């Protein structure tokens, strides 16, 4: 890997570029516990509606779009169990629970202030790395949206994922081949990894996952960098057209399956 001039202001170090997989990485692990405790949720609140909205079953288009995509790709049966790593305020659970009642949905989220009260919802208010894999074994799907880029040791993460043995791993990360996303991610976020499609394909092959589905997504009914009009938001909810498949889109969205 080659050192770049892309200086991450949170880690205070330059990113390295991998020529083999067209991606960028921070290769020194840094103690970010104080930053996440005091700064992270103050700086990055995109997509998080007030907690009262979750209690009423109201969510933004971003979470709805993720579920619409998922149910088109995967045949959902009754009484399935799901796990979400980094569930935040529970937007994704709220959407899934409204359209399809899971047997158990476990959210791994260190901050207990986000906890909601539902009979089929469990919380583990700790880091994924500290959780006993046996407690989550044989979950149907593990969801993880915009978390993988924050994990330093990807090899250890995927070893633990395979110990849990979910049928599917459904996740989304920023697409570093989009110029706007790349610069924002490299400079302004606590991201150890900045993925390209090629880098995720290499990661899947290395850890013996089959890529069940893979797309580059451009948001339509929601957007992190520009305001979306109310008419477009409501029309998208009715039509279900929340996103476009675009080779230069903002996000990489994949569904891995254990071989």
User: How much is the pLDDT for 58?
Assistant: 64
202: which residues sit within 8 A by CB, 6+ positions away? Answer: 20, 21
For the chain, list the domains and their CATH numbers.
47-176+203-258 (3.40.50.150)
Of the ranges 39-43, 60-64, 225-229, which one carries the lowest mean pLDDT score? Answer: 39-43
**222 three-state secondary structure:** coil
How far apart are alpha carbons 246 and 217 in whole angstroms?
Answer: 6
Q: Higher confidence at residue 143 or residue 34?
A: 143
pLDDT of 166 strictly over 80: yes
Tell me how many degrees the CA angle 89-188-4 measures, rounded to the nearest 5. 140
Give mean pLDDT, residues 189-200.
Answer: 96
User: How much is the pLDDT for 60?
Assistant: 84
Tell how strand 209-219 and strand 251-258 pair up: antiparallel
pLDDT band at 110, cuts 50/70/90? confident
User: How much is the pLDDT for 42?
Assistant: 61
Q: At what angle do helices 230-239 and 61-73 cross, to 10 degrees?
A: 20
User: How much is the pLDDT for 233?
Assistant: 87
**148 three-state secondary structure:** helix
With a threshold of 0.85, does the pTM exceed it?
Answer: yes
How far apart are alpha carbons 156 and 59 in whole angstroms?
Answer: 33
Evaluate whether 93 touches 121 at the Cβ level (below 8 Å): yes
**Structural tokens at position 131:** 């959780």
User: How much is the pLDDT for 44?
Assistant: 55
User: How much is the pLDDT for 36?
Assistant: 73
pLDDT of 49 strictly over 70: no
Give mean pLDDT, residues 43-47.
Answer: 55
Nearest to 138 by CA among 162, 102, 107: 162
pLDDT of 40 strictly over 70: no
User: How much is the pLDDT for 206?
Assistant: 95
pLDDT of 71 strictly over 80: yes
Q: Identify the burial level of 33 via C-beta atoms within 10 angstroms of its C-beta, where 0-12 means exposed, 13-18 middle and 19 or more buried.
A: exposed
How far apart are alpha carbons 33 and 82 in whole angstroms?
Answer: 27
């Amino acid at each position: 890997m080659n050192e770049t001039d892309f200086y991450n202001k949170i880690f205070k170090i330059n990113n390295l570029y991998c020529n083999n997989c067209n991606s960028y990485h921070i290769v020194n692990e840094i103690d970010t516990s104080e930053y996440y405790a005091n700064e992270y949720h103050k700086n990055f609140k995109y997509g998080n509606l007030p907690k009262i909205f979750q209690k009423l079953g109201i969510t933004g288009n971003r979470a709805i779009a993720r579920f619409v995509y998922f149910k088109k790709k995967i045949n959902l049966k009754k009484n399935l169990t799901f796990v979400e790593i980094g569930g935040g305020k529970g937007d994704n659970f709220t959407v899934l629970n409204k359209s399809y009642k899971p047997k158990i949905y476990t959210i791994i989220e260190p901050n207990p202030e986000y906890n909601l009260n539902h009979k089929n919802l469990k919380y583990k208010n700790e880091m994924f790395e500290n959780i006993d894999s046996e407690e989550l074994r044989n979950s149907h799907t593990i969801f993880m949206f915009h978390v993988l880029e924050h994990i330093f040791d990807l090899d250890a993460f995927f070893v633990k994922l395979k110990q849990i043995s979910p049928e599917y791993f459904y996740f989304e990360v920023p697409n570093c081949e989009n110029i706007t996303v790349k610069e924002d991610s490299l400079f302004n976020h606590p991201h150890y990894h900045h993925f390209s499609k090629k880098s995720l394909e290499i990661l899947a092959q290395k850890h013996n996952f089959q890529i069940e589905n893979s797309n580059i997504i451009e948001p339509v009914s929601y957007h992190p960098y520009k305001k979306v009009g109310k008419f477009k938001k409501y029309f998208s909810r009715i039509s279900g057209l929340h996103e476009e498949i675009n080779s230069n889109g903002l996000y990489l969205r994949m569904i891995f399956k254990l071989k």
